[in-house]
Amino acid sequence: MKKIILALFAGTALLFLSGCGDKPKAEVVTYKYTPAEVYKATCSHCHGEKGEGMAEKKGPALNKKTLQELEMELFDVKNGGLGQSTATEHEVMEHNMKKLSEKGYTYDIKAMAKYLFDSFNIIK
């Protein structure tokens, strides 16, 4: 009897698992460069090597923000400020974004926020 129940259970589990296959899968995005590489190549010349900011490029410091702030701001930066707003527009970068993405310089928001926070944050 136990065996039958077990078999039934396994069968249900299998059905359940295979059932998931019918749902549209979340798009898997792979990134050509790591956040560190993207930052160095496309962000550091305005925000500083260590996220300390650069007055001459008007790039604000990114090293005194919480992980959540960074995530929200990056969301806005990437979405042209149309998203749930933190009122960051990042106009300087927007017209560049497309070109940069074509070259593979794009990033996952959470991964970039984590990279910025872990590497540069000075108020931990």
- Candidate list 36, 67, 93, 111; residue touching ligand HEC; CB under 6 A: 93
Centre a 10 Å sphere on the Cβ of residue 93 and count the other Cβ atoms it contains.
Answer: 16
- CA 92 vs CA 8, 88, 124: distances in Å: 60, 11, 29
Helix (H), strand (E) at residue 49? none
Does the footprint of ligand HEC cover residue 52 (CB under 6 A)? no
In this structure, are residues 97 and 89 in contact, taking their beta carbons and an 8 Å threshold? no
Give min distance, CB of 34 to ligand HEC, in A.
Answer: 12
Does the footprint of ligand HEC cover residue 67 (CB under 6 A)? no
Does the footprint of ligand HEC cover residue 60 (CB under 6 A)? yes
Binding residues for ligand HEC restricted to 30-49, rule: CB under 6 A:
38, 42-43, 45-47
In this structure, are residues 100 and 106 in contact, taking their beta carbons and an 8 Å threshold? yes
Stretch that binds ligand HEC, among 3-11, 16-24, 26-34, 59-67 (CB under 6 A): 59-67
